Structure 1
Amino acid sequence: MTGYPDHPRGGRGTGHDGARFTLPVIVACLMLAASGGMQVACATARHGAPVGRHGARGGARRLPVMTHVPAHWRQHGLASWYGSGRQLGHATASGEMFDPGALTAAHRQLPFGTRILVHSRRTGRSVVVRVNDRGPYHGARIIDLSLEAARQLGMLGMGMTQVDLLPMLDDEEEVAGAPR
């Protein structure tokens, strides 16, 4: 049966096709109701939170934003870059307009205005960026860099690279550098 009106049966089933799809749906609903998963499913639909494998809500846990950055703070992980299209003309989380030519970055926890040294483990280059946005919220990335910061690190062709993040003290001034 094709389901098209010009088919000899006119899109009507024989009566058995509907039961084949209805029964599993009813069984799944009964299992959800019996296990208590219905409340989680309904709460998820109301609040838009993703549900994990075992009914846990929240998917990626969002850590609170720091009020200040300790001098000993360090972070290592994946960096990506953004800003080649959709972000142009839009405000960042700090309220300023996104500028792909500025040395800025998005970080989940660091306070806005924090300057951090980003050192690429692959290219050996470093750049100082200012946090003015929140993110990244995809995968295991720790920072999203502006187009210019990514260019100075030599990571445009890669998309992502391993980096070390170090806080910049007020008396330190460093710009993008050659390999150490």
Structure 2
Amino acid sequence: MESLHAALALAWRCGGCAAIWVGLAASTDALAQGLAPAAAPVAAGVPAVSAAPEASSPALVEVPAPSPASDALRAAQRSSIDLLADVDGAEEDDDADVQPSETGLASWYGPGFHKRRTASGERFDMHALTAAHRTLPFGTLVCVRSQATGRGVVVRINDRGPHVANRVLDLSRGAALALGMGGLGLKPVDVFPLGSGEDTCPPKRPE
């Protein structure tokens, strides 16, 4: 505003300077209308400076989400590994030595005792696969294996005996025939105890 007053004073002193009045009028109009001064011209041959481009966002790498198929494949692989571990453990158990609880001579009895009462109270059936033992509980299942032939038979303890020293079992005639000792009075055998739910002899290990 001070510059405007100075210009007016100068124009009044000039007393009709047309050029000054024209400039003053233009300046007054510009100030009244609030016009911004024009941008400075760009010299020829000088490239215009453009605004700096906005920084671009870093590129995002899309990571594919795991598909149900890949999850199922990994689960199947883990199951296969677990299954192989279980099979290996089972093979080790099968290969483990199963030691007989007793080893000795077995005898058998038949026609002279058929239908008689046994120590357990049931009647003796010489054709059934049973045996007499000194201490095993009645109803116990044991595997009796011939040391000579390797043949084995599962018998149920239902009587007490043998009543002769140096014998471990007194077999029924049916059990003796299953072991191939029908024509023999005595035969060396191995006796294997069977656990709950077992009803077969353990596999015979190769020589």
After TM superposition, the score normalised by the length of structure 1 is 0.55
The ranges of structure 1 where at least 4 consecutive aligned residues each deviate by more than 3 angstroms after the TM superposition are 177-180
- Equivalent in the alignment of 1:135: 161
3-state SS, counterpart of residue 111 of structure 2? coil
Q: Distance in 2 between matches of 1:170 and 1:146?
A: 23
- Equivalent in the alignment of 1:106: 132
- Equivalent in the alignment of 1:78: 105
8 Å contact from structure 1 (residues 120, 126) kept in 2: yes
Amino acid at match of 2:114: L
Identity %: 52
Deviation at 1:83, TM superposition (A): 1.3
Amino acid at match of 2:109: Y
Q: Distance in 1 between matches of 2:168 and 2:193?
A: 14
Deviation at 1:174, TM superposition (A): 1.5
Deviation at 1:72, TM superposition (A): 7.3
> C-alpha offsets along residues 7-64 of structure 1, whole Å, 9 cap, x if unaligned?
xxxxxxxxxxxxxxxxxxxxxxxxxxxxxxxxxxxxxxxxxxxxxxxxxxxxxxxxxx
Amino acid at match of 2:194: M
Q: Distance in 1 between matches of 2:167 and 2:174?
A: 18
Change (3 A) 1:147 1:178: farther
What are the residue-to-residue correspondences of 1:35-114 with 2, within 5 Å?
Answer: 74-85=101-112, 87-114=113-140
3-state SS, counterpart of residue 148 of structure 1? helix
Change (3 A) 1:126 1:110: same
8 Å contact from structure 2 (residues 147, 189) kept in 1: yes
Deviation at 1:107, TM superposition (A): 0.3
Q: Distance in 1 between matches of 2:100 and 2:150?
A: 21
Q: Distance in 2 between matches of 1:140 and 1:110?
A: 17
How many residue pairs were aligned?
109
Q: Distance in 1 between matches of 2:149 and 2:99?
A: 24
* Greater Cα radius of gyration, structure 1 or 2: 2
Q: Distance in 1 between matches of 2:116 and 2:175?
A: 19
Deviation at 1:97, TM superposition (A): 0.4
Q: 2:199 aligns with which of 157, 173, 177?
A: 173
Q: Give the gaps of 5 or more residues in structure 2.
A: 1-97
Q: Give the gaps of 5 or more residues in structure 1.
A: 1-70
Quick check: which one's helix share is greater? 2
Change (3 A) 1:164 1:72: closer
